[in-house]
Structure 1
């Protein structure tokens, strides 16, 4: 049976189990620096692993076999010569000649017998030497690598005694192995250091670009930013600068347009008010006067909105001072406001705009409530300001709608008690220009809670 389109759509949103690709993503570094370094380091490590494996497989085994078989052949030759010697003087001369020419310490123990059980050969060197002795000597033997430091003892059972051979370790394996390993590790460390320094220099312009974009998103000045780094990074930086200029130009044009329109409308409104005063008193004239007053309030709202996006530059500001001033102003107007500040709060802000935003939020709360609570403090990587009231609140379905320009709630927040519907719009616009946001919710005090978050 063929599945319908809604069924296929629903299946596409079902949670999927993390596969092999998801596991790799969790293991891999999350930063560009880490991933770039991994791209550089991984081939070097693989190359060294392959080279080391080939070295051990070819050089180490080959050289160890050759050296072990050489020592085994020399021991076999000494044993054959000792078996040909008739007198003890001949044997002594053979052992002396072997010591002089073979770099071996050889002694003969007459009537000695090796223990019946041979120790198991565990190391690669012991096994290789054992195979060489089996092939070249053809007699029972024991190998002891613990008799002395850097020496190996080989005891061979002969017909009339035991031949003891002390061989230095240098005769049985190549010391170039350690040199090779040290060279590989040292070269890898040098390459890693160069890669880290190089990658840091390449990543630094990207981090500066990210910091500049973050600062611009928070409404802060980015005058010292300059293009640097690789060609692609410079292209991204150039695109950022162009985008910044376009956004600033758009904001400036919007502000100038709103300010110009609002200012130009004041002249005809003034003439209308003068003419209405000359008409005398009647119901129609009073209605027109009310309409003119409403239009003046709207124009003031336009101008306030335009000033909220003005050319005020961000400066290091004591946020506690701004909050105190906004609360003090509300208290002078008769509001009951409780204030609680947690520590010193300072960050780059447009002080006049933020103060206007806080005044709007506190004024909006006191207009519809008897008691207002203001609290501010650091929360993770942001400063959070909460404004609670004990008023009627706002339905959850309208929490976002009230931020729309000129949106007005009916009922308790009616036109006769409120403004023109731009207060919350201006407040959110100011906070978002600083990279933060304002959200509304239900207050534990019973009314509305406004939460302002400003990134540090």
Structure 2
């Protein structure tokens, strides 16, 4: 399926065109069928009128003039013949009664004169005309050369003197005709409807939907989005109003949780400081060292929590940056450097300081637990990928997701000594997901771990 067919605008335009074509085809079919019936009726009544006039003339004229009358009445499409027996050997059916009534009314007789009529589909062969000359026969063949099916009518009228006037005629179904101005009219109608429909869809339906889609994507990246104007049909206005309410509630929810987290971390500092002072007064050296170590670890967690809450609360603006130059700048700023493999040019839309913190966490983890850090980047589809690789022992497959939990540390598998607070990976993933991306871990085939950050392309 082509991607452009997924567009609502394209689908509605195609639907309008299909409906117009179907309506025109149906109207044309009905018009041709009605026209065909009208032409058949007209030709049938014309043949019946000629037959009645010829029958009256033969009965009133001398016998010697009858052959001349028949020759004069014959035509390429109608043949008259006198015979002792009728050409129609059965009574008139009910559906042919109109022709019989037409003949009777023209003859003006109320007697029981027998009139037989037969109508049927004719073969494509030529109606035999033994009394026509070569020129008339050639003309008849030229008129009947088409492949259209024909209707053949045979009429037998009883005359005085035990004679029958047999009439045979054939007329074609009328061909399909659609003059050029009908195409012009159809094209102008379709163009006018499509212009009006496209304007309506663009201004009243599709534009508000596109605005909602773009705003939702920006909101998912953590950007500050202004409330959308309510425009379009009532259903679209209700959708916009609902989206604005959702955006407001999400903003209040995140602000309350961030403020609570920051307040909790700040309030813990005072009792931890008091606890540290009391620990210094412990006489037993071993106990004092253990307590101080625990307090320092808790203090580090509180500092990380406050930094995390501060990062979430900071309203940093999004910027479009060149990913290669951005990583090169990060490489020059970090004390514990890393190797950077230059890749293809790609521009990402990020909060520079937040992403810098996330990448620093990934790189510092790689150097702490894997001794080295090698950074590569590339892009695929609508996302850019930054991979941080190390040469450490890796992580068991079952724990690749657990390490993203806050304050979770997996010392036995990666670390030769205790380090970190267990918030680095959690913060990195939170920042990436706030941008509409993610962070994932995977073990390298040879050795070491690879942390991959996905970021949306501008």
Q: Common fold, TM-score beyond 0.5? A: yes
Q: Cα gap change, 1:176/1:273 in structure 2, threshold over 3 Å: closer, same or farther?
A: closer
Tell me how far 1:181 sits from its aligned partner.
5.3
Q: Cα gap change, 1:435/1:358 in structure 2, threshold over 3 Å: closer, same or farther?
A: same
Choose which of 30, 39, 43 in structure 2 pairs with 1:54. 30
Choose which of 252, 257, 277 in structure 2 pairs with 1:254. 257
In structure 2, the residue matched to 1:277 is 280
Question: Matched residues in 2 for 1:181 and 1:111: separation?
Answer: 42
Q: Cα gap change, 1:357/1:118 in structure 2, threshold over 3 Å: closer, same or farther?
A: same
Q: Cα gap change, 1:218/1:67 in structure 2, threshold over 3 Å: closer, same or farther?
A: farther
In structure 1, the residue matched to 2:97 is none
1:308–1:429 Cα contact (<8 Å) kept: no
In structure 1, the residue matched to 2:197 is 195
Q: Cα gap change, 1:379/1:177 in structure 2, threshold over 3 Å: closer, same or farther?
A: closer
Where do residues 114-133 of structure 1 align in structure 2 (5 Å cutoff)? Answer: 118=141, 121-124=145-148
Q: Cα gap change, 1:174/1:282 in structure 2, threshold over 3 Å: closer, same or farther?
A: closer
SS at match of 1:387: strand
Matched, 1:293 2:296: yes
In structure 1, the residue matched to 2:408 is 407
In structure 2, the residue matched to 1:323 is 327
Question: Matched residues in 2 for 1:281 and 1:413: separation?
Answer: 33
SS at match of 2:277: helix
In structure 1, the residue matched to 2:369 is 368
Query: Gapped runs of 5+ residues in structure 2?
Result: 55-66, 73-132, 157-165
Question: Matched residues in 2 for 1:192 and 1:404: separation?
Answer: 55
2:276–2:295 Cα contact (<8 Å) kept: yes
In structure 2, the residue matched to 1:210 is 213
Q: Cα gap change, 1:112/1:346 in structure 2, threshold over 3 Å: closer, same or farther?
A: closer
Residues 154-185 of structure 1: per-residue CA shift (max 9 Å, x gap) = xxxxxxxxxxxxxxxxxx98988555554345
1:384–1:453 Cα contact (<8 Å) kept: yes
1:356–1:427 Cα contact (<8 Å) kept: yes
SS at match of 1:451: strand
SS at match of 2:442: strand
1:341–1:377 Cα contact (<8 Å) kept: no
The answer to which of 273-282 and 301-310 deviates more is 273-282
In structure 1, the residue matched to 2:108 is none
Q: Cα gap change, 1:43/1:186 in structure 2, threshold over 3 Å: closer, same or farther?
A: same
In structure 1, the residue matched to 2:431 is 430
Matched, 1:231 2:234: yes
Q: Cα gap change, 1:314/1:346 in structure 2, threshold over 3 Å: closer, same or farther?
A: farther
Question: Matched residues in 2 for 1:297 and 1:419: separation?
Answer: 9
Matched, 1:443 2:444: yes
Question: Matched residues in 2 for 1:310 and 1:118: separation?
Answer: 94
Where do residues 64-143 of structure 1 align in structure 2 (5 Å cutoff)? Answer: 66=42, 118=141, 121-124=145-148
1:60–1:177 Cα contact (<8 Å) kept: no
Tell me how far 1:61 sits from its aligned partner.
5.5
Question: Matched residues in 2 for 1:344 and 1:185: separation?
Answer: 48
* Structure whose alpha-carbon radius of gyration is higher: 2
Count of aligned residue pairs for this structure pair: 372
In structure 2, the residue matched to 1:341 is 342
Tell me how far 1:37 sits from its aligned partner.
4.4
How big is the alpha-carbon RMSD for the aligned residues of Structure 1 and Structure 2? 4.2
1:385–1:453 Cα contact (<8 Å) kept: yes
Tell me how far 1:121 sits from its aligned partner.
2.1
Question: TM-score, with normalisation over the residues of structure 2?
Answer: 0.68
Q: Cα gap change, 1:72/1:389 in structure 2, threshold over 3 Å: closer, same or farther?
A: farther
